[in-house]
Amino acid sequence: MLDPKTFLIDLLTAAIDRARPERVLPPWVERLAADPPRGRTIVVGAGKASAAMAAVFARHWPAELPLTGAVVTRYGYLPSDATGAATPCRRIALLEAAHPTPDEAGVVAARQMLALASQATADDRVVCLLSGGGSALLPLTHEGVGLRALQAITDALLMSGATIAEINCVRKHLSAILGGRLAAAAYPAPVVTLAISDVPGDDPAVIASGPTVADPTTCAEALALLDRYAIAVSPPIRAALASGAWETPKPGDPRLAATRYHLIATPWESLAAAADKARQERIAVWLLADDLEAESRVIAGCHAALARTIRRRATPVAAPALLLSGGETTVTLTDRPLVDSPGGLPARGGRNSEFALALALALAGEPGVWALAADTDGIDGSETNAGALVTPTTLARAAELGLDPRRHLIAHDAYDFFAALGDLVVTGPTQTNVNDFRAVLILPSDE
């Protein structure tokens, strides 16, 4: 008989495994090695998967071919073996920095990568390994911005409810390396980017803020977004954006003519891997979308309505059935939660845990409905969990413990709610990132 919790964890594992660097990267390394440049292969990169990608790249690169480089990943995301020992990477430096709020280590790493790219010649080839999280890990700004201002703007954007595309539009126009500038610095060397997508729509200009591709957004758009979300910036920053002084390389820029971009793993492929696993258990799958963007609690309400319709009306599919979705939901933080929350609960938990809590409330104990929501990189927000599980008894068990789920939702404190229930999903760093993974399992009434 199917165990719902184990089954949902197995689906998440299947989705993550489909996007692991050791699975998706070797064929691309072999292809590049079969046609090496006359000079060096210079590897740069950023993101939560970049260090694992670099280790795989170096392991599969022929010893006789020149190779050098540096990549940066989030603290704690260096690759390791089953014993926890660090995976060696002899020819590519593996650096660490802070995410999502950038730090000085990220500035140092970005300078090192920009220097490596700038030293490339027409005989060399630059290979850029990108994954989600790369924007925050490359916080090298234009003169006149500085790390402290970038930290404040980043934090404000993350709390504003802005989409990842909007956040990255602003980041690109404050940056000296994002928005095509890394590839422009490498000119005339050809640049090949191998990317694991974590963004809705898989847009190369949005993944890690597109350091190797032309940027279609503008300084004017970046300034308009700052104004829309009421984010204050200094007069020099406002003046530079208003004048277009920090405009990014645009489509048709000759410095980007020799760039090539390849998506080696995507959210849709990971959701499809989970769907295949579910079908093996004779479960009907409704793969909703891989690019959902809205407030977590809004998306949760929609999923709950669909689950109830399937269970009560057997349409558009009959139970046992599975709803799958991905994308990147948002959580808008304000001062209101601490005012409305008796006792001042802390805001702990990310968008996937918030989705799970809102889903539990919307389902109201609907029999036979189980769910899992998690970030495929292993960290939901800034806590230690990837996400959380919802069961038909979530609200009943919470009541027995004296937990008020609405109070926790108002305070954006899903982490402590699910921790008390023992329903956090903890994977640790997964060395990949294809963004949100949501699975809602609907079982017949007799299961």
pLDDT value at residue 333 = 81
pLDDT value at residue 344 = 62
pLDDT value at residue 336 = 44
Cα–Cα distances (Å) from 190 to 256, 302, 325, in that order, read 8, 46, 36
Cα–Cα distances (Å) from 39 to 53, 63, 140, in that order, read 22, 14, 28
pLDDT value at residue 347 = 78
pLDDT value at residue 86 = 75
pLDDT value at residue 340 = 43
pTM over 0.85: yes
CB atoms within 10 A of CB 215: 25
pLDDT value at residue 289 = 97
Per-residue pLDDT tens for 131-190?
999 999 999 999 999 999 999 999 999 889 899 999 999 999 999 999 999 999 999 999
Tokens, residue 328: 């990147």
pLDDT value at residue 83 = 66
**Class in CATH terms, 20-265:** alpha beta
- The list of the chain residues with pLDDT below 50 reads 335-343
For residue 234, how far is the Cα from the chain centroid? 29
CB atoms within 10 A of CB 64: 7
CB atoms within 10 A of CB 158: 18
Domain boundaries in the chain?
A: 4-12+268-442, 20-265
pLDDT value at residue 395 = 98
Q: Tell me whether domains 4-12+268-442 and 20-265 share a fold.
A: no
CATH T-level topology, domain 4-12+268-442: glycerate kinase, domain 1 (3.40.1480)
pLDDT value at residue 334 = 64
